[in-house]
Amino acid sequence: MGSDGRQEDNAPELMGLFSLRRIADATSSYGSAKYVIFGVPFDGTSSFRRGSRLAPDSVRLAYDNLESFDFHYGVNFPLVPICDLGNMQVGEDVSEVIDTVEAATAEIFREGKIPVMIGGEHSVTVGAVRNIGRDCTMIIIDAHSDFREEYMGNRYNHACVTRRSLEILGPGRIYSVGTRSVSLEEYNSKEWKEVRFFTADEVRSKGISSVVNEIEKASPGRIYFSIDMDGIDPSEAPGVGTPEPYGLRAMEVRELIRHFAKRIVGFDIVEMTPVYDNGNTSMLAAKLIQDFIGSRESSLA
């Protein structure tokens, strides 16, 4: 039973996996929640600047500075049914971490709720994607193609997340936006064209509306949305594990979120590294989470 004794507060399948820390506007019980936030403090396969395991609580701290009312969306967030389960208890084995994320998101999806996952490194996304099915489209914000078959001897390395997601969802279901770092191995892969990679240069030359229109025409159904913060230019998001110059603007990412929010069934934001941050990256991540929930709850078209 929950602290007030109501059965709806009970989530025994999940509570053993998490510690208790909450985002400021997450005032609902799990039973009554529509959005379920949780952190995955894991960076075991990070290959450059480690520290993303520290990001979930850094984002929560930054969120404390945000207003709980957003006048653009007309949304008062404490009135939105949001629950924060805290940080998932994780070990050192990436496969086990992914399996735990899969189990947690399976329960959240089964109860008709929307998971909002804060990483941690990008490998953790695979656990959530395992639950969304082939009728769902995936939009990824990322500087890197993350399309390696394996990296550093591990098929579940954070550099392989798009390849693993393709195996789950199948061709034509993944749109990766902001690409500007690709290995020759990835580019020469026979599966390369099974994912639509929008380079950051293409977004700049054609405009983010062209990305919106292409995805809208090809994939009208449900969407899983994954943000690797290195997809955004380092001038706006410096605190990431593998920074790449010439990236997307934060407002371009926001435009994608705003357009597709009402079709998004799962959301994650990953690869922040607070030890290299000036505070801007965690703040931006917190605001993007608020933009997602605000856009989805807004009465605006």
Q: Report the distance separating Cα 216 and Cα 211, nearest Å.
A: 8
- pLDDT band per the 50, 70, 90 thresholds, residue 17: low
Q: Are 283 and 238 in contact (CB under 8 A)?
A: no
In 3D space, the residue among 285, 150, 168 whose CA is nearest the CA of residue 228 turns out to be 285
Q: Are 151 and 163 in contact (CB under 8 A)?
A: no
* pLDDT tens digits along 88-143: 999 999 999 999 999 999 999 999 999 999 999 999 999 999 999 888 999 999 99
* pLDDT tens digits along 256-268: 999 999 999 999 9
State yes or no: pLDDT of 8 exceeds 90.
no
- pLDDT band per the 50, 70, 90 thresholds, residue 231: very high
Quick one: pLDDT at residue 4? 42
- Looking at 3.30.1490.110, 3.40.800.10, 3.40.50.2020, 3.40.50.970, the CATH number of the domain 7-297 comes to 3.40.800.10
Q: Which residues contact 13 (CB under 8 A, 6 or more apart)?
A: 107
